Amino acid sequence: MPIMKPKTREPSEAADAPNGQLSFAELVEGLTSGDHAVRLGAVRSLGIQGGTPAIDVLCQHLVIDSDRSTRDVIAVELARLGGEAVVEGLMPLLRSDDAALRNIAIDILKELPTDVAPRMEALLDDPDPDVRIFLVNVLEALRHPSVEDWLVAVITMDTNVNVVGTALDLLNEVGSTSSVPALRAAIARFPDEPFVTFSAGNALRRIGSAA
Amino acid sequence: MKHVLIIDDATTVRMYHRQILSEAGFAVDESINGVEALEKALTKRYDLFVVDVNMPKMDGYRFLRELRSNADVHQAPAVMVSTEAEAKDRDAAWAAGANYYMTKPTKPGALTRVAHLLTGEAQ
């Protein structure tokens, strides 16, 4: 789901927000209402309130509420709010067994390059290789000047062949001549993995260098 | 000639699997997610689906559930290909409607053998 992130909320939009007079506790309770409109209103109002408690609640509610439209509205609000609290709140979702939930978390993180970029090196050290794969997928959309450097670091140091394979897939798009030594080293580091040879070799050909 | 649909959001994985299966004598089409794959499966009869798990828009599990519940689609066998190798991941694949489960990265010989077996072209 590509998230259409509004940069800011218009003042008139905040004034017209549903549940504008309700307390934080009442809005949290509204999230569990059987009335879909009440749930959506609570989500929007919590998005207007902002702050770490509201962000934590919205991130947790993504896990609980499997309704697609509610999840979409939460995603838009979190992408609009951004910040460290949103990144922190979404990281556990990357470990979920719910593939749709992981995709939502990835889509939101892709909308937050300025919040994700300063933490990317630390995030790519996550002990769970599946999380590292998802983070490499986030890199695809970050459009940050360090993306190639991060990818080179992954294919140089990561010991999991599938994390390396995911980074190689992206280097096939963004890799430049500065990736050539790391691409050759990856082929040498995984001599028994035909996919690494194929993907790194393909990147080298695209860049214009022989494997 | 048997027709295979490869469904994976990673370009190089699609290229890699296409090369392997083409060299093994299969006609190969590609889709980048489950939504696109379902559209193709509704308009063309495939003999095998090679399905990634984690994809945007529609993941591999949901694709298989939609496929298996759609009477208008030819019910070809499906190989689920995933980076995840735990028993729960295999169980989820079987439950969704997969016929075989392979962990990434695939080896050419293994993928070719499975494709031949599942399409009745065992060599």
The tens digit of pLDDT for each residue in B79-97 reads 999 998 788 889 999 999 9
Nearest alpha-carbon partner for A112 in A77, A68, A60 = A77
- The interface pTM score, or ipTM, of the predicted complex is 0.92
pLDDT tens digit string along A80-134?
A: 999 999 999 999 998 888 888 888 999 999 899 889 988 888 889 999 998 999 8
User: pTM surpassing 0.95?
Assistant: no
Tell whether B54 lies on the interface with A, counting CB pairs under 8 A: yes
Q: What is the pLDDT of residue A11?
A: 47
Structure tokens at A70: 């509610």
- Break chain B into its structural domains and give their ranges: 3-118
Determine how many CB atoms are found less than 10 A away from the CB of residue A111. Answer: 22
Out of A1, A97, A162, the one facing B105 most closely (by C-beta) is: A162
Alpha carbons A62 and A121: distance in angstroms, whole number: 26
| Inter-chain CB proximity A169 and B11 less than 8 Å | yes
User: Which parts of chain B register pLDDT below 70?
Assistant: 122-123
Give the neighbor-by-neighbor strand order of the sheet with B27-31: B27-31, B3-7, B48-52, B78-82, B100-103
Structure tokens at A102: 């992981």
Out of B11, B60, B107, the one facing A172 most closely (by C-beta) is: B11
Query: B3-118, what's its fold?
Result: Rossmann fold (3.40.50)
Q: A204-210: long-range contacts (C-beta < 8 A, 24 or more apart)?
A: A204/A180, A206/A172, A206/A175, A207/A175, A207/A176, A207/A177, A207/A179, A207/A180, A207/A183, A208/A177, A209/A177, A209/A180, A209/A183
Q: How many CB pairs under 8 A join A and B?
A: 63
Please list, in sequence order, all residues whose beta carbon lies within 8 angstroms of the beta carbon of residue B53, skipping any fewer than 6 positions away.
A99, B59, B60, B61, B80, B81, B82, B83, B84, B89, B93
Q: What is the pLDDT of residue B101?
A: 96
User: Which parts of chain A register pLDDT below 70?
Assistant: 1-20, 210-211
Residues of A in contact with B92 (CB under 8 A): 97
Tell whether A191 lies on the interface with B, counting CB pairs under 8 A: no
| Inter-chain CB proximity A199 and B16 less than 8 Å | yes
Q: What is the pLDDT of residue B122?
A: 65
Q: Which of residues 57-116 of A touch B (CB under 8 A)?
A: 97, 99-100, 102-103, 106-107
Q: Which residue of A has its CA nearest to B88?
A: A97
Which element (helix H / strand E) includes B36?
helix B34-43
